[in-house]
Amino acid sequence: MSTGGLIRIDLLVAVVAAAAWVGAGVCAALRRAPLAAALAGVAVLVSLGRVAVVAVLAGRGWWFVVEKVTVGLPLLIIAAGIAAVAAGPTLLRAVRSGATDTVAGAVAGPKVVVPLLTAGSAAVVGVGLTFLVGYGVTWSVGLISVALVAFAALITWRSVAPGESAAGRRAGVATLAAAIVAVVGIGLAFVPVSDVDTGGGPAEDHNAAPRAVSTLRGPDPAAAPAGVAVRRFTLTAQQGTVTLSSGTRVPAWTFNGTVPGPALTAEQGDLVEVTLRNTDIAAGVTIHWHGYDVPAAEDGAAGLTQDPVHPGGEYVYRFLARQTGTYWYHTHEVSDRGVKMGLYGTLVVTPRGAAPAGLELTLPVHTFTGVAALGTNDGTETRTVAPGTPVRLRLINTDNASHRLAVAGVPARLVAIDGSDVNEPGELGDRALRLPGGGRYDVAFTMPTGPTGGVALLVDDNRDRGLRLTPEGVAPGPVAATASWPALDLLDYGRPAPAALDTSVEPNRRFTLVVDRNFVASDLPPRYAYTVNGRAFPGIPPQRVREGDLVEMTVVNRGLDIHPWHLHGHHVLVLSRDGRATTGAPLLMDTFEVRPGEVWRVAFRADNPGLWMSHCHNLSHTDRGMMLILAYDGITGPLHSAHSG
Q: Which residues bind ligand C2O (CB under 6 A)?
A: 288, 290, 330, 332, 438, 566, 568, 613, 615, 617
DSSP state of 563: E
Question: Which amino acid appears at position 510 of this protein?
Answer: R
- Bridge partners for 290 per DSSP: 328
266 binds, among ligand C2O, Cu ion, none (CB under 5 to 8 A by kind): none
Tell me whether residue 318 or residue 615 sits nearer to ligand C2O (CB atom).
Answer: 615
Q: Which is nearer to ligand C2O, 408 or 529 (CB)?
A: 529
Distance separating alpha carbons of residues 589 and 591, to the nearest angstrom: 6
Contact between 285 and 278 under an 8 Å Cβ cutoff? The reply is yes
CA-closest candidate to residue 390, choices 485, 478, 455: 455
Q: Which one of Cu ion, ligand C2O, none interacts with residue 340, CB within 5 to 8 A by kind?
A: none
Smallest distance from the beta carbon of 75 to ligand C2O, in angstroms? 40
568 interacts with, out of Cu ion, ligand C2O, none, CB within 5 to 8 A per kind? ligand C2O
The nearest distance, CB 89 to Cu ion, in angstroms, is: 50
Dist CA 617 CA 594 (whole Å): 11
Q: 517 contacts which partner out of Cu ion, ligand C2O, none, CB within 5 to 8 A by kind? A: none
Q: How far is the CB of 569 from ligand C2O (least distance, A)?
A: 10
Nearest approach, Cβ of residue 115 and ligand C2O (Å):
52
Q: What is the largest CA-CA distance in the chain?
A: 101
Residue 403 binding target from Cu ion, ligand C2O, none, CB below 5 to 8 Å by type? none
Helices 3-29 and 33-58 cross at an angle (nearest 10°) of: 160
- Which listed option, ligand C2O, Cu ion, none, makes contact with residue 621 (CB within 5 to 8 Å by class)? Cu ion
Taking CA atoms, 447 is separated from 409, 457, 557, 606, in Å, by 10, 13, 40, 42
Single residue of 274, 372, 405, 616 touching Cu ion by CB under 5 A? 616
Applying CB under 5 A, among 535, 566, 618, 630 the residue interacting with Cu ion is 618
Q: Whole-number minimum distance, CB 411 to Cu ion, in Å?
A: 34
Buried b (16+ CB within 10 A) or exposed e, 406-419: bbbbbebbbbbbbb
Q: Which is nearer to Cu ion, 331 or 618 (CB)?
A: 618
Rounded Cα distance between 434 and 464, Å, is 19
> Residues 511-550 vs Cu ion: string with x where CB under 5 A?
----------------------------------------
Q: Is the distance from CB of 423 to CB of 497 less than 8 angstroms?
A: yes
366 interface partner picked from ligand C2O, Cu ion, none, CB below 5 to 8 A per type: none
Beta carbon nearer to ligand C2O, 330 or 394: 330
Q: Does 563 bind Cu ion (CB under 5 A)?
A: yes
DSSP code string of 307-324: PPBPTT-EEEEEEE--S-
Residue 68: contacted member of Cu ion, ligand C2O, none (CB under 5 to 8 Å, by partner type):
none
Of the candidates 610, 350, 576, 605, which has an alpha carbon nearest to the alpha carbon of residue 500?
Answer: 605
613 binds, among Cu ion, ligand C2O, none (CB under 5 to 8 A by kind): ligand C2O
Closest to Cu ion by CB, 416 vs 555, is 555
Q: What is the nearest approach in angstroms of Cu ion to the Cβ of residue 564?
A: 7
Closer of 288 and 544 to ligand C2O (Cβ): 288
Q: Return the residue nearest ligand C2O (CB atom).
A: 290
Q: Which residues contact 579 (CB under 8 A, 6 or more apart)?
A: 599
What is the total residue count of the chain?
A: 645
Convert 59-115 into a string of H (helix), E (strand) and C (coil). Answer: CCCHHHCHHHHHHHHHHHHHHHHHHHHHHHHHHHHHHHHCCCHHHHHHHCCHHHHHH
Sign of the torsion angle spanned by Cα atoms 27, 28, 33, 35: positive
Q: What span, in angstroms and rounded, lies between the C-alpha atoms of 466 and 383?
A: 11
470 has which bridge partners?
A: 384
Residue 240, contacted partner among Cu ion, ligand C2O, none, CB below 5-8 A by kind: none
Q: Which residues of 69-101 are buried (b: 16+ CB within 10 A; e: fewer)?
A: bbbbbbbbbebbebbbebbbebbebbbeeeeee
Residues 80 and 77: their CA atoms lie apart, in Å, by: 5
Residue closer to Cu ion by CB (options 306, 618) is 618
Nearer to ligand C2O, 303 or 313 (CB): 303
If you write DSSP's letter for every residue of 430-462 in order, what string do you get?
S-BEEEPTT-EEEEEEEPP-SS---EEEEETT-
Of 282-290, 362-370, 433-441, 557-565, which part binds Cu ion (CB under 5 A)?
A: 557-565
Which residue number, 290 or 468, has a Cβ lying nearer to ligand C2O? 290
Q: Looking at beta carbons only, is 290 or 434 nearer to ligand C2O?
A: 290
How far from each other are the two terminal CA atoms of the chain, in whole angstroms?
A: 46
Q: Which does 595 bind (CB under 5 to 8 A by kind): Cu ion, ligand C2O, none?
A: none
Which lies closer to Cu ion via its Cβ, residue 68 or residue 617? 617
Please choose which of ligand C2O, Cu ion, none residue 618 contacts, taking the beta carbon within 5 to 8 angstroms, the exact cut-off set by kind. Answer: Cu ion
CB of 562 to Cu ion, least distance (A): 7
Query: How far is 49 from 41, CA to CA, in rounded Å?
Result: 12
Minimum gap (Å) between residue 500 Cβ and ligand C2O: 22
Least distance (Å) between residue 614 CB and ligand C2O = 9
* Nearest CA-CA partner of 630 in 196, 135, 194: 196
In the complex, the smallest distance separating the C-beta of residue 2 from Cu ion, rounded to whole angstroms, is 18
Minimum gap (Å) between residue 398 Cβ and ligand C2O: 9
Q: Can you tell me the distance from the alpha carbon of 196 to that of 193, in angstroms, rounded to the nearest whole number? A: 9
With CB under 5 to 8 Å by kind, the binding choice for 431 among ligand C2O, Cu ion, none is none
Task: Name the binder of 290 from Cu ion, ligand C2O, none, CB < 5-8 A by kind.
Answer: ligand C2O
* The one-letter amino acid at 535: R
Residue (304 or 491) nearer to ligand C2O, CB = 304
The C-alpha angle 126, 132, 137, rounded to 5 degrees, equals 75
Among 605, 621, 624, 640, binds Cu ion (CB under 5 A): 621
Nearest approach, Cβ of residue 590 and ligand C2O (Å):
9
CB of 554 to Cu ion, least distance (A): 16
Classified as helix, coil or strand, 180 is helix
Residues that bind Cu ion (CB under 5 A): 563, 616, 618, 621
